[in-house]
Amino acid sequence: MVHDPLAGCRVVGFDLETTGLQKKTHRIIQFALVGSDYDGSSIHFESLVNPQRKIPADSIRVHGIRDTDVRHSQLFGTHIEQLDELFNDAVVVGHNVKAFDWPFMANEYLRCGKTMPQPRAIIDTLQIARKLKLPKPHNLGQLCTRYGVKLENAHDAAADAAASLLLLWKIMESDPKPFRRTLDDLQTWLAGTDYNSSGNLGPGYDDLEPFDEDGKIRINENDLIVSFGRHRGSTLSQIANTDASYLKWLLSPNGPFNENDRDKIRTHLFELRD
């Protein structure tokens, strides 16, 4: 490709296996990150996790991981420091990662009383398949078959993480035009919003009035639009519904806003609820 929006980034494919599908009640039993660092060196970090609960038979039939496989594994919290190191400022790639894997991990972090890492971007290959209106089905296995990505041992976290990353490259290679954007604008396009900085998708951020001192938040009628980071192009209300931990960080003293701007944002969000 002439333009690679991921050039110079740490890029990791990411996948989880869990005891079930409900993120509030089920637990992670396996995770994997597979990719490359800023200098091109390989990244491969995977582990089984003791979920401290029984693995249902229906889940075992999917991924093949049994209670005996994880009985002597470490708890999720023991991996947080290394996960933070790899995820922070990385481009995270996964299939259905935004709706499943990332919220699941957020709940594990919450149980440990820890703040979620802050990736540079999260790229969801399922979201890309839908955005490009690729023929269904859109499950990882079928998409890999369509693009010639070898996926052996499906529903193993490392295999699925690597396949998701390879799938992204194959899609970008076969249809490069939609990916001739900056990484920030690529996230905006995938989010399906009309706000961007290049003018390709509608009014640019510069056309919207800054809400905070530095213009990290822009206001459009009653919407506050984030103009930076992995949620670039999303409204604060959307973030509150999909990634509450990120909003908590935005409004914390460790976040990007001064105290006055934090108060303004809280007031605006409170008024929207009324």
Q: How confident is the model at residue 106 (pLDDT cuts 50, 70, 90)?
A: very high
Q: Using a pLDDT cut of 90, give the percent of the chain over it.
A: 57
Q: What is the mean pLDDT of the chain?
A: 88
Q: If pLDDT is split at 50, 70 and 90, which confidence band does 207 have? A: low
Specify the pLDDT at position 79.
97
The span from the CA of 7 to the CA of 36, in Å, is 11
Q: Say whether pTM exceeds 0.85.
A: no
How far apart CA 98 and CA 92 sit, in angstroms, is 10
Q: Give the residue with greater pLDDT, 108 vs 191.
A: 108
Q: Picking from 154-158, 162-166, 169-173, which range would have the lowest pLDDT averaged per residue?
A: 154-158
Residue 2 pLDDT exceeds 60? no
The predicted pLDDT at position 70 comes to 97
The β-bridge partners of 93 are 13, 123
Mean pLDDT over 87-93 rounds to: 96
Distance between start and end Cα atoms, the chain: 49
DSSP string across 227-264: -SSTTTT-BHHHHHHH-HHHHHHHTSTTSSS-HHHHHH
CATH class for the domain made up of 11-179: alpha beta
- Of 127-136, 199-208, 262-271, the poorest mean pLDDT is in 199-208
Query: Sorting pLDDT into bands at 50, 70 and 90, what band is 167?
Result: very high
Contact 112, 80 (CB under 8 A): yes
Q: Which of 183, 123, 242, 231 is nearest to 218 (CA)?
A: 231
Please state the domain extents for the chain: 11-179, 183-273
pLDDT at position 273: 54
